[in-house]
Amino acid sequence: MKALLVNDTGSKPEMILGTAPTPSPGDYELLVKIKATALNRADLLQKSGNYPPPKGSSPILGLEMAGIVEETGHEVTRYEKGDQVFGLLPGGGYAEYATIHERMAMHIPEGFSFEEAAAIPEVFLTAFQALKLLGKIKRNENVLIHAGASGVGTAAIQLAKKLFNCTVITTASKKKKLKACLELGADIAINYKKTDFSEEIISQLGENSIDLVLDFVGAPYWEQNINVIAMDGRLIYLAMLGGAKVKQLNLVPVLRKRLTIQGSTLRNRTDEYKMNLTSDFHSYAMELVENRDIQPVIHEIFDWNHAEQAHKMMEKNRNIGKVILTGM
């Protein structure tokens, strides 16, 4: 089959179209003809050699896909050939075919394109995991979502608002991004480049007002996050794009406010965990997706021949929502 491979013979690693063995479905697995896949920041890291894929998984990039079931392995009961499915992959999405455990797959809702479906798994499952499983979100809480215009950000804003009726505060850097966040349901969108977000939150919602923080930035936001967080608050790290080294950290609020600080990534979780997460997400949120109360946010769709161009856009942090590859 055709697949995008990493050419690292030049000065910078680049995506090039090549060939790889077509996978064959094992027990409980579907072989899917991929129609669309989506970019993730982990792809950029993996491409540069900084984020090796989990053991036993495909060296091909691509953590999610949407497509058509081509063949079913033994013991498969939930799907048949021709079904349109989408879901998380441990890797291998940048290709014509991939295998997926049937419990990791979901039916594409009626009226959804492959591109839309491919924009859902990673960001919505990551956001759902962070809000619900890790962050123990409760209805009507105040939730601070950093990088609100990122893929996970746009998913988290919608889930916090539509599923849990929370007051959603978000940060982003540009007018366009701030506007997008508000349109997705955020109540307050703060330009972190223009104001100290913690001061803004304190002035609008009061001190110690944030029950749950989703952070992708890390060290630079530590103190501000800790300042705005409420008693029994939770601070969830999904990435540390701004660095991980904090100077002069005071642990007193951790004790005084009974905080929980937790880090997590989705990719290195077990298949069992991801299957349960998929099933949880499906029962909690898929109805809202089907009704389009919750929407995948797509920034741009690229033909997979232009994957390198798509990567460059994500590197420059220009996208609001997901960047999709199609045309396999």
Contacts for 56 with CB less than 8 Å, ≥ 6 apart: none
Pick the closer one to a copy of itself by CB: 7 or 264.
Answer: 264
> Which are the contacts of 163, defined by CB distance < 8 A and separation ≥ 6?
284, 285, 288, 294
x/- site string to a copy of itself, residues 188 to 227, per CB under 8 A? ------------------------------xx--x-----
Q: How far apart are the C-alpha atoms of 227 and 207, rounded to whole Å?
A: 8
The least CB distance from residue 221 to a copy of itself, in Å, is 11
Q: How far is the CB of 242 from a copy of itself (least distance, A)?
A: 10
45 near a copy of itself, judged by CB under 8 A: no
Q: Which stretch binds a copy of itself (CB under 8 A): 15-23, 63-71, 101-109, 244-252?
A: 244-252
Q: Which is nearer to a copy of itself, 105 or 213 (CB)?
A: 213
- Tell me the closest approach of the beta carbon of residue 214 to a copy of itself, in angstroms: 13
Q: Minimum Å distance from CB 243 to a copy of itself? A: 9
Q: What is the DSSP string of 122-141?
A: HHHHHHHIIIIIIT---TT-
Residue found under tokens 């995008």: 4
Of 16, 254, 288, 313, the residue at the interface with a copy of itself (CB under 8 A) is 254
CA angle 100, 65, 71 (to 5 degrees): 40
Binding of a copy of itself by 270 (CB under 8 A):
no
Give the residue from 167, 173, 241 showing the smallest Cα distance to 201. 167
Pairing of strands 84-88, 64-72: antiparallel
The residue ranges that bind a copy of itself (CB under 8 A) are 218-219, 222, 237-240, 244-252, 254-265
